[in-house]
Amino acid sequence: MKKVLILLQFATLITIAQNRQITFEKGNLASVFEKAKKENKLIFVDAFTVWCGPCKHMAKHVFTNDTVADYYNANFVNLKLDMEKGEGLDFAKKYDVSCYPNMMFLDANGNVIHRVAGSMPSAQFVDFGKKTKTPEVAFGALKTKYESAELNESNVVDYINLLMGCCLDPSSKALSYIAKVKEEDLLKRTNWIVMRDFVYNHESREIKYFLKNQSAFENKFGKDTVEQKLQQLGKSYFSKYSRAKEFDQAGYDKAKKEFVELKWPNTNAIIFESDLETYGRFNKSKYYELAAADFQKYYNNNASALNSMAWIFTSKYQIKHFLNLPF
C-alpha cells in the first residue's frame, strides 16, 4: 500500500512539473504597468479574441510549455487581453491590432519594444522573447531605424516584411518610396515587388510606365506574374463597389462601361471575376446565373477558382435540400 501511495505521489509531482504555464496578471492595465515599472520588467501582451483558433492553440500548447513558462514568468510581466471587450478595445486602437494572436512587448511607458502576429512553436516563442534583450534586432528599433534613415532599395522590402509580420499596413511608406524611384529603375526587382504589391492607381506614373513597357516586365519577371498584376489592377477598378456596405447597381454598371472603354487586357475575364465577387455579396441569384453560364469560358483552366465555385454551389444545394426551398 505504501508503494502505491509513493507511486501516486511521484506521478502527481511529474504531472505538476509538466504543467507549468505562463502566469498572466489579473489586474487592469494601470496595475500591470505599475508592476512592470516597480520590477523593471517589460510587459508581454497576448492580444487575443475568444474565437481565434491560433490564439487557442498558443494558450493550450505553447503557454503551458515548461521552458516557455519558466522564461516568461522570470523575465516579463504577462498580460492576456481580449481585443473585443473592456480595455482591449482601446488597446487595439492604440496599437493597431487587427489580426490575432498579436503578441507584443511594451516597456513601462507603453512603448512597443517588439511584436509579431500569428502562432509559433514553443522554441520560436522563447527566441521571440529573447529578442527583447537585444533591442537592435527587435521590432521597435528596426522600425525606427528604417524610417529615420528613409526607405531605399536596400531596406524597403525588409521594412515592408517587418510591418506585414505584425499585420500593420506598410502601403503609405511603400507608395512614398516608389514615387521617388526613377522610371527606368522601376524595372529593378525590388522596385517591381513594391509596385506589384502596392501600386493600384490606374493613373499613377508607375502604372502608366508598367503598361507602356509590359513586354520588358514580362521578359524580366515572367509573363505569369505580369498577367497576374494586370488582373489585380483590373479588378481594383471595381473594388469601390464590391467592398461597399451597400450595393450601388447604377454606379457599378457605369464603371463597367468605363472599364470596357479602357481596353484593358482580358477585359471580359476581369469583369466576370468582378461580377462574381460583387454579386456574391449582394445578389446570390445573379451570382449563380453568371457562374453557371460562363465558368467554363473563364475558369476552365483555373482549378482553384473552380474549387471555390463548387463549394459555393454545393452549399446552395445543401441548403435547398435541407429547407426544401424551390430554387
Which pLDDT does position 284 carry in this prediction? Answer: 85
Return the axis-axis angle of helices 156-164 and 171-178, rounded to nearest 10°.
Answer: 170
Q: What is the pLDDT of residue 18?
A: 54
Let me know if 166 is a catalytic residue.
no
pLDDT at position 322: 39
CA 36 from chain center: how many Å? Answer: 30
**pLDDT tens, residue order, the chain (327 aa):** 444 444 445 444 444 445 799 999 999 999 999 999 999 999 999 999 999 999 999 999 999 999 999 999 999 999 999 999 999 999 999 999 999 999 999 999 999 999 999 999 999 999 999 999 998 899 999 999 999 989 999 999 999 999 999 999 999 999 999 999 999 999 999 999 999 999 999 889 999 999 999 999 999 999 999 989 998 898 898 988 998 989 999 999 999 999 999 888 889 989 988 998 899 889 988 888 888 887 777 776 667 666 766 766 666 544 444 344 444
Residue 305: per-residue pLDDT: 65
What CA–CA distance (Å, rounded) separates 139 from 165? 10
In the block, cell 513601462 appears at 108
> How many C-beta atoms lie closer than 10 Å to residue 68's C-beta?
22
Confidence at residue 309, expressed as pLDDT on a 0 to 100 scale: 63
| pLDDT value for 318 | 46
The pLDDT score that the predictor gives to residue 314 is 66
Distance CA(159)–CA(144), nearest Å, equals 10
Answer yes or no: 167 catalytic.
no
The whole-number pLDDT of residue 323 equals: 41
Decide if 35 contacts 77 (C-beta within 8 A): yes
Letter string b/e over residues 251-285, b meaning 16 or more CB atoms within 10 A of that residue's CB: ebeebbeebeeeebeeeebbbbbbbbbbbbebeee
Separation between Cα atoms, residue 220 and residue 85, nearest integer Å: 50
**C-alpha closest to that of 107 among 157, 141, 152, 60:** 141
DSSP 8-state code for residue 24: B
Q: How far apart are the first and last CA of the chain?
A: 71
Instruction: Please classify residue 291 by burial: count the beta carbons closer than 10 Å to its beta carbon, then call 0-12 exposed, 13-18 middle and 19+ buried.
Output: buried
Residue 54, preceding bond cis, omega within 30 degrees?
no
- pTM, full prediction: 0.77
Is residue 46 helix, strand or coil?
A: strand
> Beta strand pairing status for 102-106 and 42-48?
antiparallel
Cβ–Cβ under 8 Å, residues 213 and 183: no
Q: Using an 8 Å Cβ cutoff, are 119 and 54 in contact?
A: yes
Spell out the domains of the chain, with CATH numbers in brackets.
Answer: 16-133 (3.40.30.10), 184-323 (no CATH)
159, 146 in Cβ contact below 8 A?
A: yes
CA 141, distance to chain mean position in Å, is: 22
Q: Record the cell numbers describing residue 71, joined without a space.
A: 522564461
